[in-house]
Structure 1
Amino acid sequence: MTANKSNTYKKTSLSILMLIALLMLFSGCEKVIDLELKDADAAIVIDAGISDLSENQVVKISKTYSFTEANRFNGLAGAKVVLKSSNGNTYNYTEVSPGIYQTIKFRGRPDITYTLDVTVEGKTYSAISTMPQKVTLDSLTFKEFTFFGTTNTYVAANFNDPAGIQNQYRYILKVKGKIEEDVVSEDRFDDGNKVSNVIFYEVDDLISGDAVELELQCIDRNVYKYFFSLSQSAGGGGPPVAPANPPSNFSNGALGVFNAYTTSKKMVVLQ
């Protein structure tokens, strides 16, 4: 064996020994970390809406529960729910099942401010929402977009935005009867224009007979902030942000939202 070969062999052996030593060092430093996950205090959650349709207006009241429990609706019974309008009307809700409360049939009116009071477990939670003027959904169309060489088809909501009025919109997309998207927008760059807003949910796999339905809600500013924050936390329109409760319009620390809205719907059945 020559001197060069001998030196190379020694260097190789030394490298192998050092690698083995490092592996033994790191394997010896393994440590099991036990995470102590603490449950947050239970909170009241109120999901309430008033539409411009003649129907039973519904409020859902529940309570959060431990993350170790099965996902379920933890409805709260025995609440007192009262709705008051700025034009002098008062509506009392009736409990129809644990946590589900509804009014007699009536129609909400645009430009009327509604105050909802929910009293449960010794506390009262109040929220205010003003119903905007109605904007009607004209039609649904399909648009194709190509991203990274792949072309997909999406639904577009078409309507005329009123000029000189700040408008906020909520889009609820149902595909084959199931809600697939729930997003919001504002008219900051579309004031007074004919709008064609795309809902980025791929519909390429649909077949003849499948139904696509879109509901366009006109919502007030505080409700828009709630749903926009909810979308941001879920990663809508970009990377997810740090988890946080969206800004509820209810007082006293309740979660959820009270939404006085107008609604317009269109459905397309694929041929």
Structure 2
Amino acid sequence: EEYRNFLNDEKVKYLRNKTNRKRVGGFTTLVDGGTYTLGPAIEQRELPPIPALADYQLVQQLKLLKLVAEEVNKTRKSRLNCWERESARTTGSKRSPEFRQNVIRRYQRKSSSGKSVKCQVLDEWTTLKAAEDSIIAAHIWKASTRGKDLAEFGLRERDVNSARNGLFLTKGIEDAFDCQQVCFLYNHIQGQLILWVADSTILSKTIEGSSPPKNFSDVHQRPLICPPDRLPFRRLLSWHARLTLERRKEHVPVADYTSEYDMSPGRSRASLDPITQAIDDMVEPGEDASVSGEF
């Protein structure tokens, strides 16, 4: 209703100004506060000064601006949530063998004999043959996006196929990550990323591809194995975690959980709950979006 009234007021102002215009050849256009008539000569007729807004009008405009900002934020979140779109998920037949080898090499997941590999969470040896179907080189930012919108995170479109945009995960864990049922947080004390089961309804379920079979309760808060100098793009993991915890907040066992996404450098750390603190720690001191250190 406020927005409709605002538009009506603007329409009345426009019609009033249009009625009072005088043409001297050429055409007339509005620029800022005055009317400029273009023709053989250019002349300007100033409009009457706009009266100052009353307090209640200022309050109305501030409310409107807040509503617009909230709507823009919702639209941005939806646009940057590639995990909620089924079409963005990559099937096994579409995965790149080269990307798989780059991810395995980056996170040092292959045995010295070259005959077996390990998931970054379960960390158990699996033969190369068995791992073809049970352990997936997953894209964090989905491959089907072709890197669209990565610029929002300080990355390039081609970084969608960077090994830093990959994780080597058992199939069931990868599926849960894509469905925003699990995410990765940063344990500041231990200095490592950990898997967080955000959807408590899957805790008792068996992880597809695990051998011997394991449930999600067995991997809750288990570390993501990465060499110290070879972490994934943490800003992408942080964004995924925020959206996941926001979507699953009814299942998050932290009473004062908050999921407000704040890109500003002056975050007030004292007011953050443990989970939000873990997300913020993940993306500082700022090298998270760096593209240096690639193979």
Higher relative contact order (CA 8 A, sep 6+): 1
Larger % of helix: which?
2
**TM class, shorter-length:** under 0.3
User: Normalised by the size of structure 1, how large is the TM-score?
Assistant: 0.20
